[in-house]
Homo-oligomer: A and B are copies of this chain.
């Protein structure tokens, strides 16, 4: 049951182990005929290189470490977010012969710095993917950078794109949602803003204003209500918006939880969706497709972001080009059934 080693392959192909190593790593400077001989030896023996040995010799593990805030602390509302990132990162890791290590941790925990230093020292990953909200915390970024491990941050909603960051265009796609509503014929489009500390959500208010302006609609403070990202705050804000004299025909909420709150309030007031009121959200949480009618929303491209970031890490470490520009991965509108033409 002993696995064949590089020595076995070398003997079988009649070359030195170094040549086999060169073939494995696609280094050039190997004659085609030799390469072929080695490759068939590899196939004959069913050989696969031993990662541990490889990692030891090459001074870093072929491992990407995905660090995110521990969701089990809050009972899994963010499961979809994390699964999408995992799946994007995994896809790229596999293409390049890397494995993905997942490392959830809780930012409220004082030991988080020692914890991160621990994984880095033990596993020696080739790079670290740091997800929001951890990616916006100075201390954590500092700890990782101090270790010298290449880092790429996933930071949706950053104002300016920084180096080694993968961001989203929340402002742009929020404007896009306003365009969608305006195109349906809406003039009075309300907005429910989110928690002031949440960066991406802040960008969405700006995007809403951009959208109004681009569509030639006036911005009215009476059409903006403050929420805090929760279902309840969305419900309250909607009740307020819908009971004012000149009621909006569409409500755009800065996240899906609040949008679902809006739907609840509308139901309570006997306002039909989308007949009397169009509703739109942001995030495309799992619930968005499960409510009735299915919610029109915007999807942050978490999987694509993670793919980009992983690629930056792997190629950066391969090419000794650790510094790379930031990248913006565009979100997309998910038009479903809660938006339609205004009444009359």
Contacts and interface: CB of A to CB of B under 8 A. Distances in A.
Query: How big is chain A's contact interface, by range?
Result: 35 or more
Contact of A76 (B56, B97, B123, B286): B286
B122 A51 contact: yes
Interface string A47-79: 011111101100001000000001110001101
A80 interface: yes
Nearest to A3: B121
Given A72-B87, A286-B286, A290-B287, A123 B79 contact: no
Nearest to A59: B52
Given A52-B56, A124-B51, A83 B90 contact: no
A316 to B, nearest CB: 17
Interface in A211-239: none
A219 B97 CA distance: 56
A79 B86 CA distance: 11
A30 interface: no
A230 B72 CA distance: 27
A148 interface: yes
Nearest to A97: B122
A137 interface: no
B79 A48 contact: no
B87 A118 contact: no
Contacts of A101: 99-101
Contacts of A86: 102
Contact of A55 (B52, B82, B104): B52
A118 B49 CA distance: 10
A1 interface: yes
Contact of A83 (B55, B83, B121): B83
A143 to B, nearest CB: 13
Given A1-B148, A51-B122, A100-B102, 17 more contacts: A3-B121, A48-B117, A48-B121, A50-B56, A50-B121, A50-B122, A51-B61, A70-B87, A72-B87, A79-B83, A83-B83, A86-B102, A90-B104, A99-B119, A99-B123, A100-B101, A102-B102
Give the top 5 A-B pairs by smallest Cβ distance, nearest first.
A48-B121, A52-B55, A79-B79, A52-B56, A72-B87
